[in-house]
Structure 1
Amino acid sequence: MYPKAGSLKALSLLLLSITGGYPKPTLRNERVHQDPTLSDKPHQDSANFEYDHEAFLGKEEAKTFDQLSPEESIERLGKIVERIDDNKDNYVTMEELKAWIIRVQKRYIFENVAKVWKDYDLNKDNKISWDEYKQATYGYYLENPEELQDAMDQFSLKKMLPRDERRFKAADLDDDMVATREEFTAFLHPEEFDHMKEIVVFETLEDIDKNEDGFVDEDEFIADMYAQEESKNEPEWVKTEREQFTDFRDLNKDGKMDKSEIRHWILPEDYDHAQAEARHLLYESDKNKDKRLSKQEILDNWNMFVGSQATNYGEDLTRNHIEL
């Protein structure tokens, strides 16, 4: 069983702080669930369909759909269905759904890199050197250390600068400390590249292993997702996660996870996220059980695919249609 999105934060991923007109960048070290390209929301259909929305639409487009009325959401979903149906036979198969989800997630990665590229390519040579990245991200505080607000900021800078440099070097395949577009994409989205898998595992261990013994024990595993409150019993979902640790994470039953077990946890080679989500959407919507979806079956289950919070109807949306 793969870790639940949102409940587990297995992948260390620095959400980059861009100067972009702000004199003082904010030092942040936010960690998100592995495979952030699908969704970092909990996949809990009994509570909401946020995970499905982000997987099917992409994170940014899901935000747009949240502001639409149900009627508008259904109308747009109908147009999307026509695009998913590659062979135009008026049915959507699991393979077509999977291809669409992969396409959406690749778009998210492309847009994410494009959005920040100009902020780091300071000399506009269509490459980003380590010095450019370091200057754009940390330059202000390196030049003005007195501006660091507290010990936590000092710790963040001390930790994240060498961590970023280590990841940058791993992504830099030709060892020239200058990142091409593809190398910078590997730096920002290491989970998508085979040669970056080891750095993903190492960063995960580094973040969760609080006693620095080179392993993740059960308490560290739980502490990464749940802050124990005084005089309160653990909720049932935490108890379930403890069982998951014992039954599925600690493979050699020595009470802790080593690097190989962490890799199996966050980067399981036998688990295809797009395939699993496509299968889930089809299973939940295929009312006549013919293993394919008609347009009407999808529209009938529109809330799972796109949903709608139906708020802020007058708000100007930043994106009014899906462009793929």
Structure 2
Amino acid sequence: MIRPTLACLVLCVIFGSSKPTEKKSRVHEEEALSNLEHDDKKSFDYDHEAFLGHDEAQTFDQLTPEESRRRLSIIVDKIDNNNDGFVSEEELKLWIKVVQRKHVYDSVQRQWSDFDTDSNGLISWDEYKNVTYGSYLEDPPLESQYNYSRMMWRDERRFRAADTNSDMLANKEEFTAFLHPEDHDHMKDIVVQETIEDIDKNGDSLIDLQEYIGDMYNPEGGEEPDWVATERQQFFEFRDKNHDGKMDKEETMDWILPSDYDHVEAEAKHLLLQSDANQDGRLSKQEILDSHEVFVGSQATDFGEVLLRHDEF
């Protein structure tokens, strides 16, 4: 069975306050915190996914406000590592990282048995290729919206980058790097390369302003949104550092994987700012419960499933 989702790219919007607007990270699988827009004026869905994880944030949709508060109270006790009755920014950061790691672990576990077809504890490139592209290889379609040959070539290139001992056999760690390259330093060049390839339309291996905007906005008539003008300004002031009108690999790296930006820390600060009613720099359980819609909401998140599996944390 062909799995085009494994070769698709996801646009992630990461919250930022004092830096060039939003950091966008295009990756092979899921986003670091959430692939939703971080706009609290519209909803707190981004915060829900950052706090709980994408999969968990869906079951909570069916909870009443009372039940979501009750379950949130249990989670708060887990976050409060030192049992002092308060949740600090550092404890929030540690919790968000736990949620991230669990998402990555679950993602790998869900797919492992599908690709390890001989059950030897390793996934060879041939196994991955046959499972992902087997039907295409057996009977290539005459017409298709997907360029499967290119997708397969890109996957092999990424597989080789993740395969640190070059034996074309991926263990769990290597397969994790393949599925989630943004979390591994030795995979960052591949993430940047794939980003440029997907945005670059004229084939010069660079990203110009038109390509940069076109990746985020397709005009469909009517008045252009204000944020598009803001992004143009961002391109000239922050993205194109050498002012040659285009973003090269180094500039693209700074855009999608900035070394001076910690999205977990930014989200923890954001949650604290939104909920710290007495502005003492920490959150009581009551403050979190009073702001439950920021953390888990009700009828809007998947937090219920987290509680059902809380021992896994």
TM-score when normalising by structure 2: 0.89
Asked if 1:73 corresponds to 2:63, the answer is no
The SS at the match of 2:43 is: coil
- Larger displacement relative to structure 2 (188-197 or 239-248): 239-248
- Larger displacement relative to structure 2 (46-55 or 63-72): 63-72
Which of 93, 96, 99 is residue 98 of structure 1 equivalent to?
Answer: 93
Percent sequence identity is: 55
C-alpha deviation, 1:65, in angstroms = 1.3
Unaligned runs of 5+ in 2: 13-24
Q: Which residue number in structure 2 is paired with residue 121 of structure 1? A: 116
1:1-324 mapped onto 2 (5 Å cutoff): 19=1, 25-28=2-5, 29-32=7-10, 33=12, 34=25, 36-145=31-140, 148=141, 150-153=143-146, 155=147, 157-229=148-220, 231-309=221-299, 320-322=308-310, 323-324=312-313
Q: Distance in 2 between matches of 1:321 and 1:175?
A: 37
Q: Is the 8 A contact 2:56 2:305 kept in 1?
A: no
Cα deviation digits, residues 138-161 of structure 1 (max 9, x gap): 01110011xx373423x2x02100
Report the AA paired with residue 268 of structure 2.
A
Q: Distance in 2 between matches of 1:149 and 1:222?
A: 33
Q: Distance in 2 between matches of 1:258 and 1:72?
A: 50
State how many pairs are aligned: 292
C-alpha deviation, 1:245, in angstroms = 1.3
The SS at the match of 1:268 is: coil
Q: Distance in 2 between matches of 1:68 and 1:321?
A: 16
Q: Distance in 1 between matches of 2:64 and 2:45?
A: 16
Q: Is the 8 A contact 1:70 1:310 kept in 2?
A: no
Report the AA paired with residue 227 of structure 2.
W
Unaligned runs of 5+ in 1: 1-18, 20-24
TM-score when normalising by structure 1: 0.86
Distance change >3 Å, CA 46–CA 193, structure 1 → 2: same
Report the AA paired with residue 27 of structure 1.
P
Q: Is the 8 A contact 1:216 1:258 kept in 2?
A: yes
- Larger displacement relative to structure 2 (115-124 or 240-249): 240-249
Cα deviation digits, residues 181-226 of structure 1 (max 9, x gap): 0000000000000000000000000100011111101110111111
The SS at the match of 1:262 is: helix
Distance change >3 Å, CA 141–CA 120, structure 1 → 2: same
Q: Distance in 2 between matches of 1:95 and 1:226?
A: 36
